[in-house]
Amino acid sequence: MPQSEEQLQNLRHSLAHLLAAAVMKLWPDTKRTIGPAIDDGFYFDFEFGKPITERDLPKIEKQMRKMLPTWDKFERHELDADQAKKEYPGNEYKHELIDEFAKEGQKVSFYKSGDYWDLCRGGHVASMKEIDPGGFKLDRLAGAYWRGDEKNTMLTRIYGLAFPSKIDLDAYLVMREEAKKRDHKILGPKLDLFTFSDLVGAGLPLFTPKGTMVRDVLNEFVWELRKARGYESVDIPHIAKKDLYEKSGHWSKFSNELFRITTREGHIFAMKPMNCPHHIQIFARKQWSFRELPQRYASTTKIYRDEQTGELSGLSRVRSITQDDAHVFCRQNQVQKEISKIWDIIDEFYKPLGFELEVHLSRRDPNQPEKYLGTNHQWQGSENALKTEMLSRKVWREENDKIGEAAFYGPKIDFLAKDSLHRQWQLATIQLDFNQPERFNLTFVNQKGEKERIVMIHAAIMGSIERFMSILIEHYAGAFPIWLAPVQVAVLPISEKVTSYSKKIYEALLTKDVRVELDDRNESIGKKIRDAEMQKLPYMLVLGEKEQAANTVNVRKRGERDQHSQSIDEFLFELKAAIASKKTS
């Protein structure tokens, strides 16, 4: 039974082959295209002669189960391009892929199990006998353009779920049902946190006052932690000349994702896809001495990516992305200390959010040094600094040492957070960069009076704030902890007789910087309480003539039926203490 992530991916990819074999058995004239493993299973894209529906999925799944016992090992075969094309008469999709392999001078590899074989790079189970028949099921149909390009043919995508065992599959299905109830695309608008407008455009979220409040609280928390560790706030424009991104390499790297602007004078600009080139230009304004380092710059600002419409999803995948971005410019011998500072920020930020963090180190493949920029001294020093920090914090795990997974420009640490549904998200990052200092010739004058190359560290705490908010909404099911809630207290008068008293309580809370709403609608107290509960507000103060006479408030806490009376001063003292402590609930 597969245990590692690689084994699980191999299982899922193997089942994609089985799915394609079942479809070809049932509809022999179908054109098959590609079928990769994905996070919860697999999919395969087909061009059917006649459309199929979700009612056909049980039939396909039955055929898969019928064929499974007849499959065993995957055998690899290699053909040249002309021979390979003969295996797919009339299938322009496979021919396109084969032509691409041929251009790269590669032999075309096929894998065979049972009576089915297909074009494939590999990555399968050692034997299909190790697959639990109860661990997979077909899930749904969707439309998908060939190669993700809407100018191409629309294909039929069949999704499947796959896990090591039926127990794992059933647990995933239970979790997914719970996740549907927490879907930020439903909860966000329902809680009045954000909206979208057809006139503004897809992938461009609009945050309401409540949603903006949550963003501001998060961002201020990050800034408070950074400021205490010597970071300085800088402000940068949202556009720049083409020249900047050509020099940084982003013009070619993000070529298809750039929003381009041509001025009336014919100059070419782009909406920034990254913030680092701007921060670099701030650093490059003067020649720095070793005594003046490190320099630490931070901005919370937007970047822009021209994502394809079909890839957009709520706040998870957008075109305008707000990043809490910071860059440190330092000497090689300062790297360890700066990593430690960033890590402290990450720990302090995530602790009150209730996430479990897992830490991965991505480093270069020592057997292929030619693939990476930077000197051996830089790589060894930086990787050792990252690993030393992991060891000192007792989070080093051999299985999280990702050799060969570093970017070509430097090693990094990724922080993966597990949410309340046990889903794992890659969030914070500490990334070392040897590429940009080289491209922009960033130097400092060392103790010998010689110019020496700067080391640059990218640090994101939340990453994309939009994506981070989508995760938080689902993590809390919209019931934000008191310190983060956009509205912390609802004041609910029972009748008009206590309107004046209710306003007095409301203003007392307001003057103490409590985020409070007064519900003075002409509605029953039952409806006001239900509405406050639907908005998942942490506290309700129910005020009637009894409270007015005693100069007290009747406190009702989210998730609790019991109510109790307190003076407003007592309530405020407890409330402010709870907010200051940043409790997770």
Question: Going along 340-436, which residue ranges are E strands?
Answer: 356-363, 401-403, 412-418, 424-433
Share of the chain above pLDDT 70, in %: 99
Q: Is the pLDDT of residue 104 over 80?
A: no
Q: Are 18 and 68 in contact (CB under 8 A)?
A: yes
* Closest alpha carbon to 549 in 493, 498, 506: 498
Q: Is the pLDDT of residue 420 over 90?
A: no
Name the residue with higher pLDDT: 399 or 135.
135
Question: If pLDDT is split at 50, 70 and 90, which confidence band does 400 have?
Answer: confident
* Closest alpha carbon to 462 in 485, 432, 433, 429: 429
Regarding the domain delimited by 216-233+284-296+307-475, which CATH topology (the fold level of the hierarchy) does it fall under? BirA Bifunctional Protein; domain 2 (3.30.930)
Rounded Cα–Cα distance for residues 56 and 141 (Å): 10
pLDDT tens readout for residues 469-498: 999 999 999 999 999 999 999 999 999 999
8-state DSSP, 54: G
- Written as six digits, the tokens of 551 are 């100069």
Entry pTM? 0.81
- Which pLDDT score, from 0 to 100, does residue 476 have? 94
Residue of 412, 515, 528, 536 marked catalytic = 412
Q: Is the pLDDT of residue 325 over 70?
A: yes
Q: Are 295 and 329 in contact (CB under 8 A)?
A: yes
* Domain 5-181 in this protein, CATH class: alpha beta
pLDDT tens readout for residues 142-170: 999 998 888 899 999 999 999 999 999 99
Residue of 45, 139, 324, 325 marked catalytic = 325
Sign of the torsion formed by the C-alpha atoms of 430, 434, 439 and 442: positive
- Which pLDDT score, from 0 to 100, does residue 1 have? 47
The interaxial angle of helices 209-227 and 465-476, nearest 10 deg, is: 110
Rounded Cα–Cα distance for residues 252 and 477 (Å): 40
- Which pLDDT score, from 0 to 100, does residue 408 have? 79
Please report, in range form, the residues annotated as the binding site: 276, 327, 458
8-state DSSP, 279: H
- 412 included as an active-site residue: yes
- 137 included as an active-site residue: no
Residue of 323, 431, 436, 535 marked catalytic = 323
Residue of 120, 276, 467, 535 marked catalytic = 276
List 402's β-bridge partners, or say none. 362
Mean pLDDT of the region 126-147: 92
Q: 352: which residues sit within 8 A by CB, 6+ positions away? A: 481, 483, 582, 583, 584
- Which pLDDT score, from 0 to 100, does residue 3 have? 61
- 3 included as an active-site residue: no
- 327 included as an active-site residue: yes
Q: Are 352 and 483 in contact (CB under 8 A)?
A: yes
Please report, in range form, the residues annotated as the binding site for Zn(2+): 276, 327, 458
| Residue 268, SS3 per DSSP | strand
- Which pLDDT score, from 0 to 100, does residue 294 have? 97
- 198 included as an active-site residue: no
- Which pLDDT score, from 0 to 100, does residue 477 have? 93
Residue of 13, 31, 305, 475 marked catalytic = 305
| Residue 468, SS3 per DSSP | helix
Q: What is the CATH number of domain 489-581?
A: 3.40.50.800
Q: Is the pLDDT of residue 114 over 60?
A: yes
For strands 295-304 and 320-330, give the pairing.
Answer: antiparallel
Rounded Cα–Cα distance for residues 173 and 169 (Å): 6
- Which pLDDT score, from 0 to 100, does residue 585 have? 65
Q: Is the pLDDT of residue 2 over 60?
A: no
- Which pLDDT score, from 0 to 100, does residue 402 have? 85
- Which pLDDT score, from 0 to 100, does residue 371 have? 81
8-state DSSP, 30: P
Rounded Cα–Cα distance for residues 2 and 164 (Å): 6
pLDDT tens readout for residues 206-240: 999 999 999 999 999 999 999 999 999 999 999 99
pLDDT tens readout for residues 255-276: 888 999 999 999 999 999 999 9
pLDDT tens readout for residues 37-92: 998 999 999 999 999 999 999 999 999 999 999 999 999 998 888 888 888 999 99
Distance from the first to the final alpha carbon of the chain: 38
Q: Could you state, in order of their start, the residue ranges of all structural domains in the chain?
A: 5-181, 216-233+284-296+307-475, 489-581
Residue of 458, 467, 528, 536 marked catalytic = 458
Give kind and range of the element (H or E) at residue 462: strand 455-464
8-state DSSP, 400: G
Rounded Cα–Cα distance for residues 251 and 247 (Å): 8
pLDDT tens readout for residues 522-557: 999 999 999 999 999 999 999 999 999 999 999 999
